[in-house]
């Protein structure tokens, strides 16, 4: 089946991320990577098509042109094709503006299934799928711990505040998967080499046919007003394990009468 996987670029987990104090936007100048949560969505898409013996996986990302390496990583892992929505006019897009641009790509692709990750490791938004589903007028299920496809339906088991639900939605639909749904594969050397030959399409706002005033800063209705340090949380102790970490922890707990 044809599956669109929405992937995002985020700052590398090991990099110290910051918000630019002047633009009040995320400083994306440091090393960036494919959102680790999206690797689970991609893995799920690959497994579905491997089980069915056919299909196409299209990785779609909206990000500045500099994010190409992260999107190519999705190709190296196994996506068949990439669509990169890149345009200066998209800078500063909030949730709704981002959804407007990505909805156009999904409409063009007409997939049977759209998969997303459980959250961006940078934004912690965990909301894009629902905005997108509303624009596309399609059913959506989030937080999928398992996903089964049969008889033109997606069956999802997912956790909420009260335990596990099972939800069914007819295809086409959107499903956002939890990070426990599978263990994502790593790109193989062959995959990395092969990625260079896979179709990679770049689209601008004009290509998508979205009015410019509906995206980017102009199309966004949220603003960042100011930044501040978090409330201080008192002294903390750092222990690098040199073989005596357990002893040091015990001493700390003993001193404070915690054991």
Partner 1 sequence: MRTLVYLEDHEGELVRGSLGVLAKAAQLDGGVAAVVCGPGVASLAADAGRHGAARVYVADDPALAAPLPQPRVDVLARLVGEQGFDTVLFGASVLTADIAAALAVRLGAGLNWDLVDLERRDGALVGRRPALQDSVYADVGWKGEARLALVRSGTYEPAETGGEAEVVEIPVELEDFSTRAVMVERAHAESEGPSIEDADVIVAGGRGLGKPEGFSLLEDLAKALGGAVAATRAVVDAGWYPYAAQVGQTGKTVAPRLYIACGISGAIQHKVGMQASGTIVAINKDPNAPIFEYADVGVVGDLHQIVPRLTELVKARGA
Ligand X SMILES: Nc1ncnc2c1ncn2[C@@H]1O[C@H](COP(=O)(O)O)[C@@H](O)[C@H]1O
Ligand Y SMILES: Cc1cc2nc3c(=O)[nH]c(=O)nc-3n(C[C@H](O)[C@H](O)[C@H](O)COP(=O)(O)OP(=O)(O)OC[C@H]3O[C@@H](n4cnc5c(N)ncnc54)[C@H](O)[C@@H]3O)c2cc1C
Residues within the interface to ligand X (CB under 6 A): 6-8, 35, 37-38, 41, 60-63, 98, 102, 116-117, 119-120, 123, 125-128
Regarding 149 and contact with partner 1 (CB under 8 A), the answer is no
β-bridge pairing 153-160 and 163-170: antiparallel
Residues that bind ligand Y (CB under 6 A): 118-119, 126, 143, 179
Other Cβ atoms less than 10 A from the Cβ of 73: the count is: 23
Per DSSP, 231 falls in state P
- Options 1, 145, 149, 192; binder of partner 1; rule CB under 8 A: 145
Q: Residue 166 Cβ, how far from ligand Y at the closest point, in Å?
A: 17
Which residues ranging from 157 to 186 are in contact with partner 1 (CB under 8 A)?
158-170, 173, 178-181
Residue carrying the six token digits 């909420």: 160
Q: Under a CB-based contact definition with an 8 Å cutoff, are residues 146 and 181 in contact?
A: yes
- Options 28, 47, 109, 135; binder of partner 1; rule CB under 8 A: 135
Which one, 159 or 244, has the nearer CB to ligand X?
A: 159
CA count, 13 A, side-chain hemisphere, 255: 6
Q: Residue 243 Cβ, how far from ligand X at the closest point, in Å?
A: 39
Q: Residue 61 Cβ, how far from ligand X at the closest point, in Å?
A: 5
- Options 59, 71, 101, 128; binder of partner 1; rule CB under 8 A: 128
- Options 47, 155, 185, 200; binder of partner 1; rule CB under 8 A: 155
Which one, 93 or 143, has the nearer CB to ligand Y?
A: 143
What is the C-alpha separation between 156 and 154, in angstroms, rounded?
6
Which residues lie below 8 Å from residue 62, measured CB to CB, with a gap of 6+?
Answer: 8, 85, 86, 90, 93, 98, 101, 102
Q: Which two tokens stand for residue 135?
A: 């624009």
Any idea what the Cα angle at residue 146 is, between residues 108 and 174, rounded to 5°? 20
Q: Residue 234 Cβ, how far from ligand X at the closest point, in Å?
A: 30
Nearest residue to ligand Y by CB is 126
Which one, 37 or 57, has the nearer CB to ligand X?
A: 37
Q: Does residue 172 have a cis bond before it (omega within 30 degrees)?
A: yes
Which residues ranging from 193 to 222 are in contact with partner 1 (CB under 8 A)?
220-222
Which residues ranging from 20 to 79 are in contact with partner 1 (CB under 8 A)?
24, 26
What is the C-alpha separation between 23 and 242, in angstroms, rounded?
42
β-bridge pairing 153-160 and 140-150: antiparallel
């Amino acid at each position: 089946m044809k599956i669109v996987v929405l992937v995002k670029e985020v700052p590398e987990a090991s990099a110290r991320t910051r918000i630019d104090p002047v633009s009040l936007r995320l400083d994306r100048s440091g090393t960036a990577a494919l959102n680790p949560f999206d690797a689970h969505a991609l893995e799920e898409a690959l497994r579905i098509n491997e089980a069915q013996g056919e299909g196409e996986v299209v990785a779609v990302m909206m990000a500045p042109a500099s994010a190409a390496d992260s999107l190519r990583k999705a190709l190296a892992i196994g996506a068949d094709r990439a669509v990169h929505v890149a345009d200066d006019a998209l800078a500063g897009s909030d949730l709704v503006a981002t959804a407007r641009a990505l909805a156009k790509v999904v409409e063009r692709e007409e997939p049977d299934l759209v998969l997303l990750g459980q959250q961006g490791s940078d934004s912690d938004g965990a909301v894009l799928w629902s905005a997108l589903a509303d624009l596309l007028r399609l059913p959506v299920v989030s937080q999928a711990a398992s996903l089964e496809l049969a008889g033109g339906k997606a069956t999802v088991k997912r956790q909420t505040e009260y335990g596990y639900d099972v939800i069914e939605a007819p295809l086409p639909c959107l499903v956002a998967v939890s990070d426990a749904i599978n263990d994502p594969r790593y790109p193989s050397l062959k995959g990395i080499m092969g990625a260079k030959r896979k179709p990679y399409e770049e689209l601008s706002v004009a290509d998508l046919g979205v009015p410019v005033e509906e995206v980017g800063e102009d199309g966004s209705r949220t603003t960042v007003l100011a930044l501040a340090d978090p409330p201080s949380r008192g002294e903390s102790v750092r222990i690098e394990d040199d073989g005596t970490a357990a002893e040091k922890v015990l001493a700390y707990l003993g001193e404070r009468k915690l054991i």
